[in-house]
Amino acid sequence: MEDKFATGHSHGKIILMGEHAVVYGEPSIALPFPAVDMTATVKGTTGGLLIDCSYYQGIATDMPEVLHSLKKAIQTALSSLGKPNQNIRIKIESSIPPERGMGSSAAVAVAVTRAIYRYYGKELSHEKLLELVDVAERVAHGNPSGLDAVTTSGDSPVFYRKGEPFVPFQLKMDAYLIVGDTGVTGQTREAVQSIADRIENGEQSRTLQQIRALGDLAEKAKSFLEHNKPESLGHVMGDAHELLRELGVSSSDLNRLVDAAKQAGALGAKLTGGGRGGCMIALSATKEDAEKVSAALEKAGAVHTWITHLRQEEQE
């Protein structure tokens, strides 16, 4: 029994376009980001339910408050199997930086749920996985759209508009996405609130206009992604960054990295996710160009950069 083990995987996600505007019903595009990933391993043990991750090693009941959504994910998966009190050890290994808009809270819930189901030899449909992860994401984010759960567990880019089903689509783009981490924790909640405050406090029509413009850019971006138009995509990414900056959700660190990427020849660059910290993204046509951008980002202070080829492998 003690030798038995099972693993579950997930990866990061990146919002390509439409962050913030999506809160107001505009479309957004999110991509799976497999350059960072997560593995959960479940093993039999004695002495109760044990957790082993970089933040905490010990019994699950004593997990610190910062891990409350992980705790909820484990409880939810075990309860759904009718196995609330188990002697298992759950180990989590992650290269997804937390609180950078890469979906780490959804990713850990996905990996843990998959590992627990596999350990007990139970089938887990994608639909059921999303339903279970949503319970943990409610603890982490209050009212999650579900976009993080879909993109950290799946392989397709997703077009999403609030209240409508997620629309997976095929990337036909032959280009490279570079991600730069400011090293500063993102401030999604505050940034979302600051836009709501602008609308409340007299800047309603201008703010709503900027939000609509962001939605239009996301629509255009989808078409560019499907028709292999990297230069046009770079252009709308740059326009989106300007709008997000005007809306007050960028930061001096993000602006510095965006400028550095552009100066190094990127086709476009913008912040990604909630902003006020976290990560930015840039686009290059070739691997060589992407490496130049990545080096420029590091020189400008990025604590980490990743490069990923955007073209999706054709599905069988």
Tell me which of 37, 148, 181, 239 is the catalytic residue: 148
Rounded distance, CA 86 to CA 99, Å? Answer: 30
Bridging pattern class, strands 158-160 and 88-94: unpaired
- Separation CA 168–CA 314 (nearest Å): 14
Among residues 41, 113, 145, 251, which is the contact residue for ligand PMV, using CB under 6 A?
145
By rule CB under 6 A, what string of x and - marks binding of each residue 150-189 to ligand PMV? Answer: ------------------------------------x-x-
Verify binding: residue 290, ligand PMV, rule CB under 6 A: no
Q: Which helix (H) or strand (E) holds 140?
A: helix 126-141
Contact flag: residue 281 with ligand PMV (CB under 6 A): no
- Annotated active-site residue 148? The verdict is yes
Residues 239-278, one symbol each (x = binds ligand PMV by CB under 6 A, - = not), give ----------------------------------xx---x
15 lies in the site for ligand PMV, by CB under 6 A: yes
Site membership for ligand PMV, residue 60 (CB under 6 A) = no
Task: Reduce the DSSP state of residue 115 to 3 states and report it.
Answer: helix
Region near ligand PMV per CB under 6 A, out of 12-20, 43-51, 88-96, 168-176: 12-20
Cβ atoms 223, 19 nearer than 8 A: no
Contacts with ligand PMV: how many residues (CB under 6 A)? Answer: 13
- Residue 189's region, left for phi above 0, alpha for psi from -120 to 50, else beta, is alpha
Is residue 22 within the footprint of ligand PMV (CB under 6 A)? yes
Among 7, 9, 23, 228, binds ligand PMV (CB under 6 A): 23
* DSSP string for 154-193: -SS-EEE-TTS--EE-------EEEEEE-SSPP-HHHHHH
Residue 192 binds ligand PMV, judged by CB under 6 A: yes
Q: Which amino acid is at 77?
A: A
Q: Which residue has the tokens 């950078």?
A: 100
Please identify every residue annotated as catalytic: 148
Query: Under the rule (CB under 6 A), what is the footprint of ligand PMV?
Result: 15, 19-20, 22-23, 101, 145, 186, 188, 192, 273-274, 278
